[in-house]
Chains A and B, each alone.
Chain A
Amino acid sequence: MMEIMEGSHAVANAVRMCRPQVIAAYPITPQTHIVEALAEMVADCRLDAEYITVESEFSALSACLGASAAGSRVYSATTSQGLALMFEVCFNTAGLRLPVVMSIVNRALGAPLSIWNDQQDSIALRDSGWLQFYAEDNQEATDLHYVAYRVAEDRRVLLPAFVCFDGYILSHTYEPVEMLTEEQVDRYLPKYRPVHRLDSADPISIGLFASPDYYTEFRYQIDQAVKGSMQVIREAGRQFGEMFGRDYASPVEEYRMDDADCAIVAMGSICGTAKDAIDEMRKEGRKAGLLRIRTFRPFPAEEVRKALSGVSSVAVLDKNISLGSKGAVALEVRDALYGSGVPVLDYIIALGGRDVAKKDIKSVVDMAAAGKGDLFYGLREEVLR
């Protein structure tokens, strides 16, 4: 049924239908509406879960880790500083191979303090072993939670997953969302059956320390699992499409890419604006297209290479910056296109909540056509003087 809902509430509803047994969360803007909604559901017996009101994000993920190790499906949500505080636990959760699913309501990282949107927070955790999905709109933000649980808990994967969607732009915006029913979700998402769990009937030890004789092999195995999850994502995404009509089989989305001359590459809600700008440019006879990356980890290098190998320029919109280097998406895209000769230009854009309009997208395409890139887009003049 199509409903007009705030993004946070749509996501909370989706999470409810995934039936997590344990939720641990700590309030942080702009994630709060999700965890408030879930608390209400637990209070009204609409969701049968233990809800742990932890004293920090660090404990939120630590409690989720413990509950997951004990064999429960778990959930948390956070953003920005909260995710940064979880940094250590993030690496640990992936290393222990626990399929925690967490919503990341993307927000900038301080300093300076900013409560507004960019994608620096989750990007900073790109090396942690978590799968990372980025939603363009609230429909996708909602659907990707079902997919994320299914992929994370798959025996071939057993890794935690971020479902990332842009703070305020999606989380606080009302959009029509088609919500699945509980029966539909139950059919799509099987009950969680842990492969290894803390259980006195089978008293294994989890999280031993590894000497140099073993550490590399453990990291190799995690890397293999992250890379191998791509196949599982395709399967889970395809089946979602077959059951509910919205197909997430591909880790990327191509928009008017068939005959595109300049390809924009981006993740998240900025892609909506980019699509509108492309439509207008197409009317003006300019052959622009969009390659939207939905799955950033594992990185779909093969799909990116395939989609971009024919274009004459690539303009990557990075809502993050690896300070002292480039935006993270551009680095990946350049790596994927290595040897193809296709120029990849990077545009650091929309940091800390700065609005991006269609004219900005057009302006980026103009710059890319002129070979001008690898820059912060739209800087205030005063810092350049």
Chain B
Amino acid sequence: MTGEQCSLFESGHRACGGCAAALAARTILDAAGRDTIVVSATGCMEVFSTPYPETAWNVPWIHSLFENNSAVASGISAALKKQGRKEKVIAIGGDGASFDIGMLCLSGAFERGHDFVYICYDNEAYMNTGIQRSGATPYDASTTTSPAGKCSTGNPRPKKDLPAILAAHGAPYVATATVAYLPDLKKKIRKALDTEGPCYVQVHAPCCTGWGFESEKTIAIARLAVETGLFVSYEMENGQVTRVKKVVRKPVEEYLKEQRRFRHLFRPQRNDAEIAKIQAIADRNAEKFAIDIVLKK
């Protein structure tokens, strides 16, 4: 049984060692099964999985452009409906494709209510082009277009709340998930596929190359994001938060100090003021989603 897990996303793809996006792709297909049509946006996952004549996909797959995967998925979904076919449609894009350039198509597809699942693998910057800032880049992260410097502490803006935006479109199911908890990710993909209408799953996918950590730490970093409250794993059904992963929270610096993109907050000297601002973001998340497990004394 376990041997079949890898069969729909084939070995031989060219992702970096320890790539969370590759792990996500494999896990998503494992949950979705063979009767799934995948539409990939331009990005790391598309490029590392399909250099002609090789494809890692064992399900029907198409790539059109960077910003139109949800519009292409709309068309596929309509065609399947007209042909009386039962395959599921998944559109996958990175955070650049989803939060930024593909936002128009994404909003349109969700508003129209097509039956498909949109999955964003969120590695919090444009990794394929060399780690540029996106609307999903967290506060203070140093990227190649938001570099930390003498008068900059990195990305000046907090992350866009895309799940809330899509929930506001009336999406019946919106979830965040992470490669730190693969069974949970699978469950959410399955639930999204089984829910009629446009559903959204945002998968936190740490990038060892872009964030600056060793390849074996991908899952550990993903776990720390959840444990510090900087990434909240939750489900929303019809606009209401229905399930949240609770944690015994750790200070944010345990997450930050492991990554090169936040190194400027610790070296050459520690920037307590900025670390406190990031801690405040985690605290707000914790309050908003009630993620704290209160330990009995």
Residues of A within 8 A of B (CB): 21-22, 24, 48-50, 52-56, 58-59, 62-72, 74, 88-89, 92, 96, 198-200, 202-211, 214
**Inter-chain contact B78/A50, CB cutoff 8 Å:** yes
Distance of A235 from chain B, by nearest CB (Å)? 28
**Inter-chain contact A96/B64, CB cutoff 8 Å:** yes
Closest chain A residue, CB of each to CB of B63: A207
- B62 interface residue (CB < 8 Å to A): yes
Which chain A positions have C-beta within 8 A of B105? 55-56, 58-59, 62
Which chain A positions have C-beta within 8 A of B60? 198-200, 202-205
**Inter-chain contact B108/A70, CB cutoff 8 Å:** no
**Inter-chain contact B61/A62, CB cutoff 8 Å:** no
**Inter-chain contact B75/A71, CB cutoff 8 Å:** no
Given contacts A89-B64, A96-B64, A203-B60, contact A21 B82 (CB under 8 A): yes
**Inter-chain contact B52/A210, CB cutoff 8 Å:** yes
**Inter-chain contact A72/B74, CB cutoff 8 Å:** no
- B107 interface residue (CB < 8 Å to A): yes
Partner of A70 from the list B47, B64, B68, B76 (CB cut-off 8 Å) is B76
**Inter-chain contact A203/B59, CB cutoff 8 Å:** yes
**Inter-chain contact B61/A22, CB cutoff 8 Å:** no
Give 5 CB contacts A-B under 8 Å. Answer: A62-B65, A67-B78, A198-B61, A203-B34, A214-B53
Which chain A positions have C-beta within 8 A of B57? 203, 205
Closest chain A residue, CB of each to CB of B87: A200
- B111 interface residue (CB < 8 Å to A): yes
- Interface core residue of B35, B47, B55, B76 (most chain A CB under 10 Å): B76
- Interface core residue of A49, A66, A96 (most chain B CB under 10 Å): A66
Closest chain B residue, CB of each to CB of A21: B82
Which chain A positions have C-beta within 8 A of B77? 66
- B236 interface residue (CB < 8 Å to A): no
Distance of A13 from chain B, by nearest CB (Å)? 20
Which chain B positions have C-beta within 8 A of A92? 64-65
The total of interchain contacts (Cβ-Cβ below 8 angstroms) comes to 160
Distance of B1 from chain A, by nearest CB (Å)? 21
Partner of A203 from the list B46, B61, B82, B111 (CB cut-off 8 Å) is B61
Which chain A positions have C-beta within 8 A of B36? 200
- B104 interface residue (CB < 8 Å to A): yes
Partner of A50 from the list B58, B72, B81 (CB cut-off 8 Å) is B81
Distance of A143 from chain B, by nearest CB (Å)? 26
**Inter-chain contact A21/B79, CB cutoff 8 Å:** yes
Closest chain A residue, CB of each to CB of B74: A63
Distance of B168 from chain A, by nearest CB (Å)? 16
Given contacts A56-B104, A59-B68, contact A200 B59 (CB under 8 A): yes
Which chain A positions have C-beta within 8 A of B112? 52-54
Which chain A positions have C-beta within 8 A of B109? 59
Given contacts A50-B79, A67-B79, A209-B51, contact A200 B37 (CB under 8 A): yes
Distance of A217 from chain B, by nearest CB (Å)? 10
Given contacts A54-B74, A62-B64, A62-B65, contact A209 B83 (CB under 8 A): no
Given contacts A66-B39, A72-B82, A208-B52, contact A52 B74 (CB under 8 A): yes
Extra contacts besides A50-B81, A55-B108, A200-B35 (14): CB < 8 Å? A24-B74, A50-B78, A50-B79, A52-B112, A56-B104, A59-B74, A67-B75, A67-B78, A198-B61, A200-B37, A200-B87, A203-B61, A206-B63, A208-B51
Which chain A positions have C-beta within 8 A of B193? none
Closest chain A residue, CB of each to CB of B59: A203
- B50 interface residue (CB < 8 Å to A): yes
Question: How far, in whole Å, are A65 and B65 apart by their CA atoms in the complex?
Answer: 11
**Inter-chain contact B108/A66, CB cutoff 8 Å:** no
**Inter-chain contact A66/B65, CB cutoff 8 Å:** no
Chain B residues numbered 3-43 whose CB sits less than 8 Å from any CB in chain A: 34-37, 39
Question: How far, in whole Å, are A198 and B76 apart by their CA atoms in the complex?
Answer: 9
Closest chain A residue, CB of each to CB of B114: A52
The 3 closest A-B pairs by CB, nearest first: A66-B75, A55-B108, A62-B71
Distance of A231 from chain B, by nearest CB (Å)? 28
Question: How far, in whole Å, are A66 and B39 apart by their CA atoms in the complex?
Answer: 9
**Inter-chain contact A59/B59, CB cutoff 8 Å:** no
Distance of A215 from chain B, by nearest CB (Å)? 9
Partner of A74 from the list B35, B39, B64, B75 (CB cut-off 8 Å) is B75
Partner of A209 from the list B35, B50, B79 (CB cut-off 8 Å) is B50
**Inter-chain contact B82/A66, CB cutoff 8 Å:** no
Question: How far, in whole Å, are A214 and B50 apart by their CA atoms in the complex?
Answer: 13
Which chain A positions have C-beta within 8 A of B63? 206-209
Distance of A99 from chain B, by nearest CB (Å)? 14
Closest chain B residue, CB of each to CB of A70: B79
Given contacts A22-B82, A72-B83, A200-B34, contact A205 B71 (CB under 8 A): no
- B164 interface residue (CB < 8 Å to A): no
Given contacts A49-B82, A56-B104, A198-B62, contact A205 B50 (CB under 8 A): yes
- B276 interface residue (CB < 8 Å to A): no
- B80 interface residue (CB < 8 Å to A): yes
Distance of B161 from chain A, by nearest CB (Å)? 21
**Inter-chain contact B52/A63, CB cutoff 8 Å:** no
Which chain B positions have C-beta within 8 A of A70? 37, 75-76, 79-80, 83
**Inter-chain contact A71/B83, CB cutoff 8 Å:** yes
Distance of A279 from chain B, by nearest CB (Å)? 47
- B230 interface residue (CB < 8 Å to A): no
Question: How far, in whole Å, are A205 and B10 apart by their CA atoms in the complex?
Answer: 13
Question: How far, in whole Å, are A66 and B105 apart by their CA atoms in the complex?
Answer: 13
**Inter-chain contact B75/A65, CB cutoff 8 Å:** yes
Distance of B103 from chain A, by nearest CB (Å)? 11
